[in-house]
């Protein structure tokens, strides 16, 4: 049994890589560029070369390497096959472990990058100690990673956890990125908070710090912390939508904890305080003691989760 | 490896039992009364005695019995432990396989009865051939059983699949059985259809067959089949609620198929036709090709599912 594992998180611009010990501590982390030429055909060889150099540098042999975990921006099935390719990096469908282990002969596992990040938060982040967890990413959009009994749920077509597209609002007139109207993402993402803010500000002329400077999710939550009343109204509306949406998720999979990450989550505890009462209000009693926590690994969640695919013992 | 298995479905009044062969064919089925005296302490001994008599009658030895599956009306964890007891039959928490295998020394597995029924529909019913499925029961309430990669999801507290309590309607004034207001169950159950019907009928005096005789989900759907316009309006509203609710479920677990059972589902294909467009409308594009099917096993789903816990090979 090896003492080390690599966690690899392949993004559209860079590949993040981490060297982990058995306890899930990151010993080293670095990045290499993602070369997307020729359908991204050099990405895995580049990664392999970088890993081999690191092994040489650290004096780690193949027999001391437990394996390599890889997160990729596309739907991946439980065998590690990229089901429909990964358009951001030019990849067509193929079995990732098969190809990667041809370069370095150790166990290789692959997963969707968002799911890997969710897994990372469960293993070493905000969801540590839990095995039934939903990771919620509040960024440009709203994403979800659903973990049941320690395993990531991928769904029939790799689209499990698309919780940002739960329908919330019949009266919505603007169109979501998915083509529907009234999706959770239209209210609970960074752009969603801005949408709610613009609508609130247009209602009347009540003075507010939110009217000054550049309007963003951050400016709204900063004003909330300063006690701004209009900002609080916007944030409460955000909390109602997100709480109600997460309640629907809780009524389906009954998780122990929601771990909230992404740019909007930088608002911190104030965000959890807004969401919690709404979440509890709309959740079935037996599922109501679900916890809310903040993500802890930030941009490193992907490499943690990828390494966790190899090292995490349930 | 044994050629037979028993499927046992313990209800509040009777215990349904089925003898199955390896192919999932039911060879015999019967019922015994559920004796709830003394905290239901004689239920498992009664079941064991009935099974032993059947084995004697059929000349089946313990070595020819692959195992016994048991569905019970309470939350059961993956080890077969009844987590919080089963109030309907007087049971306190205990490990069901451990006790049952003391009577008959074969592998025993236990599950929540609704989840077992869902599993039965996947194994031999409306979900046959699928391994990512949500069973929806439209009865007095609205229940759900969620199956991911062939396994039933129980959730952190056994409350996964409580899809009847997804919040649908902010303007609802009546209270759901769970204490909340505006749950899916308040519109998509048998009583929910009656609620929608009463509200529609109170709106005006448009003549309708639904105004005659006893109002029920059946009377509404019978009138729909006869082309009754008011009944159609009621049914369309039912379809909107259920479609929207199932879309939320699809956006969380991305199943291949919803299998619809329970009394209301006797309306048949007309019900599916009402729900399908609404389901597709509110589902994320990548999850949108989810199928809708009718349950096929009726009240036998529980014994099929219980036997399937033993016999079903994923």
Confidence of residue B305 (pLDDT cuts 50, 70, 90): very high
Judge whether residue A143 has pLDDT over 70.
Answer: yes
What pLDDT score was predicted for residue B110? 96
Contacts of B178 in chain A (CB under 8 A): 284-285
| Residues B250, B279: Cα–Cα separation, whole Å | 9
Rounded mean pLDDT, B90-113: 95
pLDDT of residue B118: 94
Q: Are residues B93 and B145 in the same domain?
A: no
* Nearest partner of A169 among A186, A189, A192, judged by Cα: A186
Task: Select from B148, B159, B165 the Cβ nearest to the Cβ of A148.
Answer: B148
Could B167 and A244 be called an inter-chain contact, meaning their C-beta atoms sit closer than 8 Å? yes
Residues in chain B closer than 8 A to A172 (CB atoms): none
CB contact at 8 A, A138 and A188: yes
Residue B85: predicted pLDDT: 87
pLDDT digits (tens, 9 = 90+) for B24-40: 999 999 999 999 999 99
Helix, strand and coil content of chain A, in percent to the nearest 5, comes to: 45, 20, 35
Q: How confident is the model at residue A88 (pLDDT cuts 50, 70, 90)?
A: confident
Q: Let me know whether A146 and A260 are in one domain.
A: yes
Listing DSSP states for chain B in one string gives: --SEEEEEEE-SSEEEEEEEETTS-EEEEEEEE---HHHHTTHHHHHHHHHHHHHHHHT--GGGEEEEEEEESS-B-TTSBBSS-BGGGTBPS-BHHHHHHHHS-S-EEEEEHHHHHHHHHHHHSTTTT-SSEEEEEESSSEEEEEEETTEE---TTS-TT-GGGSB--TT--SPPTTS-SSBTHHHHSHHHHHHHHHHHHHH-----GGGSS---HHHHHHHHHTT-HHHHHHHHHHHHHHHHHHHHHHHHH--SEEEEESGGGGGTHHHHHHHHHHHHHTS-GGGTT-EEEE---GGGHHHHHHHHHHH---
Say if residue B151 is exposed, middle or buried (CB neighbours under 10 Å; 0-12, 13-18, 19+): middle
What pLDDT, in 10s, does the model give residues A91-131? 999 999 999 999 999 999 999 888 999 999 999 999 999 99
Compute the nearest-CA separation of A296 from chain B (Å). 22
pLDDT at B314 exceeding the cut of 60: no
Q: Do A156 and B290 touch (CB under 8 A)?
A: yes
Q: Are A274 and A80 in contact (CB under 8 A)?
A: no
Chain B residues within an 8 Å CB radius of A287: 155-157, 159, 162
Judged against a pLDDT cut of 80, whether residue B144 lies above it is answered with yes
Q: Are residues B50 and B177 in the same domain?
A: no
Question: Per the structure block, which two tokens stand in for A54?
Answer: 């690191």
A132 neighbourhood in chain B, CB within 8 Å:
155-156
The reply to whether B215 and B252 lie within a common domain is: yes
Q: Which residue has the higher pLDDT, B50 or B1?
A: B50
Q: Is the pLDDT of residue A189 over 60?
A: yes
Regarding whether B94 and B76 lie in a shared domain, the answer is: yes
* Same-domain pairing of B8 and B111: yes
Pick from A156, A165, A253: which is nearest to B284 by CB?
Answer: A165
Interface residue B168 vs chain A (CB under 8 A): no
Question: Is some CB atom of chain B closer than 8 A to the CB atom of A294?
Answer: no
Whole-number pLDDT of residue A313: 67
Count CA atoms within 13 Å of residue A170 on its CB side: 8
Distance (Å, rounded) from C-alpha A5 to C-alpha A68? 6
Percentage, residues of chain B above pLDDT 70: 99
Angle formed at CA B143 by CA B138 and CA B144, multiple of 5 degrees: 115
Same domain, A271 and A240: yes
Please provide the average confidence, as pLDDT, over all residues in chain B: 95
A102-111, A248-257, B83-92, B191-200: least confident range: B83-92
Rounded Cα distance, B137 and A107, in Å: 43
Across A218-233, b (16+ Cβ under 10 Å) vs e yields ebbbbbbeeebebbbb
Average pLDDT over residues B87-94: 92
Do A67 and A134 belong together in one domain? no
Residue B202 forms contact with A (CB below 8 Å): no
User: In residues, how long is chain A?
Assistant: 314
What pLDDT score was predicted for residue B114?
Answer: 86
- Amino acid B63: pLDDT: 94
Give the residue numbers spanning the domain of B58. 4-123+300-311
Count of CB pairs separated by less than 8 Å, A with B: 131
Query: B53-86: per-residue pLDDT in tens?
Result: 999 999 999 999 999 999 998 888 888 999 888 8
For chain A, what is the radius of gyration of the CA atoms?
21
Q: Name the band, by pLDDT with cuts 50, 70 and 90, for residue B313.
A: low
Task: Give me the CATH number covering residue B161.
Answer: 3.30.420.40
| CA–CA dist A105, A100 (Å, integer) | 8
User: Is pLDDT of A14 > 90?
Assistant: yes
Q: What is the nearest CA distance from B257 to chain A, expressed in angstroms?
A: 9
**B158 contacts chain A (CB < 8 A):** yes
Compute and round to an integer the Cα radius of gyration of chain B. 21
The verdict on B94 and B43 lying in the same domain is: yes
Give chain B's domain count.
Answer: 2
Is there a single domain that holds both residue A304 and residue A225?
no
Mean pLDDT over A58-80 rounds to: 92
Q: Judge whether B290 is closer than 8 Å to chain A, CB to CB.
A: yes
What is the pLDDT at residue B294?
98
What the block records as the tokens of B111 is 């599950």
pLDDT tens readout for residues A155-184: 998 889 999 999 999 999 999 988 999 999
What's the average model confidence in pLDDT over B189-209? 97
Instruction: Give the C-alpha separation, B147 to B134, whole Å.
Output: 6
Are A86 and A184 in a shared domain?
no
CA distances from A137 to A93, A117, A133, A262, B217 (A): 26, 10, 13, 5, 41
Give the confidence band of B281 by pLDDT, cuts at 50, 70, 90.
very high
pLDDT digits (tens, 9 = 90+) for A269-309: 999 999 999 999 999 998 999 999 999 999 999 999 999 99
Q: Please give the structure tokens belonging to residue A285.
A: 């009693």
Q: What's the rounded mean pLDDT across residues B95-103?
A: 97
Of B165, B244, B284, the CB nearest to A284: B165
CB-based contact (8 Å) between B288 and chain A?
Answer: no
B222 and B281 together in one domain: yes
Task: Report which of residues B233 and B76 the model is more confident about.
Answer: B233
């Amino acid at each position: 049994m090896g003492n080390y594992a690599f966690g690899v998180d392949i993004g559209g611009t860079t590949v993040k890589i981490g060297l982990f010990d058995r306890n899930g501590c990151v010993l080293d982390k670095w990045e290499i560029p993602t070369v997307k030429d020729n359908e991204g055909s050099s990405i895995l060889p580049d990664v392999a070369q970088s890993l081999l150099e690191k092994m040489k540098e650290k004096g780690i042999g193949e027999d001391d390497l437990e394996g390599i975990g890889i997160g990729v921006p596309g739907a991946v099935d439980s065998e590690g096959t990229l089901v429909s390719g990964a358009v951001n990096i030019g990849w067509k469908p193929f079995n990732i472990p098969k190809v990667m282990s041809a370069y370095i002969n150790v166990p290789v596992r692959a997963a969707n990058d968002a799911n890997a990040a969710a897994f990372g938060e469960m293993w070493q982040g905000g969801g540590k100690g839990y095995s039934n967890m939903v990771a919620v990413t509040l960024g440009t959009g709203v994403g979800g990673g659903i973990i049941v009994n320690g395993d990531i749920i991928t769904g029939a077509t790799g689209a499990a956890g698309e919780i940002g597209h739960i329908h919330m609002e019949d009266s919505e007139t603007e169109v979501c990125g998915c083509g529907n109207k009234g999706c959770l993402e239209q209210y609970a993402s960074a752009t969603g908070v801005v949408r709610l803010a613009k609508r609130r500000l247009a209602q009347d002329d009540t003075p507010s710090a939110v009217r000054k400077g550049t309007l963003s999710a951050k400016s709204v939550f900063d004003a909330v912390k300063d006690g701004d009343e209009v900002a609080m109204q916007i944030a409460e509306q955000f909390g109602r939508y997100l709480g109600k949406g997460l309640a629907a998720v809780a009524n389906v999979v009954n998780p122990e904890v929601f771990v909230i990450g992404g740019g909007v989550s930088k608002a911190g505890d104030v965000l959890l305080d807004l969401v919690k009462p709404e979440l509890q209000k709309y959740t079935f009693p037996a599922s109501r003691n679900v916890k809310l926590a903040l993500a802890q690994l930030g941009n490193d969640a992907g490499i943690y989760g990828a390494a966790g695919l190899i090292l995490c013992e349930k």
